[in-house]
Amino acid sequence: MSDHQRPGDEGQRPAAGQGIVQSDQGVGPWPGGRDNWPDDDRFDPELLEYGDRRNVVDEYRYWHVEAIKADLDNRRHPFHVAIENWGRDFNIGSVVRSANAFGAAAVHIVGRRRWNRRGAMVTDRYQHIHHHETVEDLAAWARALELPIIGVDNLPGSVPLEHREFPMRCVLLFGEERAGLSPAAQAACTTIVHITQYGSTRSINAGAAAAVAMYHWAVQHANAPAAGEPESER
């Protein structure tokens, strides 16, 4: 199977080196033109025709957004990510992008509905994003699904993340860049964990903290390849 193929795609995609022109900006038109197009409705005719410059992994090259989203739905992890949004924090986009990368079930924006999408680099299109007016709304939703809310902030009384096992099913809740976790958010958490720091700054930014926490969940629960094992053989 080539780098571009997925199980079940055998015979549809050209083998590596047989025509797909890869560059830093993605791939060019499907080699061989229309006569050679795969007979599979996951593929987007426009992308096949003109090339796929999106920031997607090779296995999703030329796929419709909806087809990618549906495929991701089959393998999203059972942790959720939530972030407070009282002042249009620029970190939210980066949290959404990391949530996509680490396979979060969904992202929950708490507070203002509008958020700065810039750092998301379009990953929000592939992600389930829910809005909750208040932290209490988020907490009620989580309670109904029996999902514990784990706060992530370096607050007095928080415990080091490094020695904690995250529950498999949970919500990781992050605060705003300026204010950190609000008192209401703190009250909704079953535990608050902090990422141990070693320098002079009080904190890292919320986007960076979210990536560290999601990585921590993934190290504990996700099916990462064993050392030396190619990802395609998982």
Ligand X SMILES: C[S@@+](CC[C@H](N)C(=O)[O-])C[C@H]1O[C@@H](n2cnc3c(N)ncnc32)[C@H](O)[C@@H]1O
User: By the criterion CB under 6 A, which residues form the site for ligand X?
Assistant: 152-155, 174-175, 177, 180-181, 194-195, 197, 202-206, 209
Closer to ligand X by CB, 50 or 86: give it.
86
CB-wise, 20 or 139, nearer to ligand X? 139
Shorter beta-carbon distance to ligand X: residue 165 or 231: 165
Calculate the CA dihedral of residues 126, 232, 40, 32 and round it to 10 degrees: 110
Three-class secondary structure of residue 88 per DSSP: coil
Q: Is 173 in contact with 134 (CB distance < 8 Å)? A: no
Give the residue with the Cβ less far from ligand X, 52 or 153.
153
Task: Report the 3 state secondary structure along 186-219.
Answer: HHHCCEEEECCCCCCCCCCCHHHHHHHHHHHHHH
> Which residue has its beta carbon closest to ligand X?
175
Q: How far is CA 189 from the centre of its chain?
A: 22
CB closer to ligand X out of 95 and 120: 95
CA 182 vs CA 66, 80, 129, 149, 152: distances in Å: 35, 19, 21, 14, 12
Q: Is 146 helix (H, G, I), strand (E, B) or coil?
A: coil
Supply the minimum distance, in Å, between the C-beta of residue 158 and ligand X. Answer: 7
Is residue 115 within 8 A of residue 85, CB to CB? The reply is yes
Gap between the Cα atoms of 138 and 169, Å rounded? 15
- Distance in angstroms between the alpha carbons of the first and the last residue of the chain: 14
CB of 129 to ligand X, least distance (A): 18
CB of 90 to ligand X, least distance (A): 12
Smallest separation, CB 227 to ligand X (Å): 29
CB nearer to ligand X: pick between 23 and 201: 201
Nearest in space to 126 (alpha carbons), one of 160, 98, 154, 92: 98
- In the block, tokens 């700065």 appear at 116
User: Which residue, 74 or 201, has its beta carbon nearer to ligand X?
Assistant: 201
Tally of CB atoms within 10 A around 123: 20
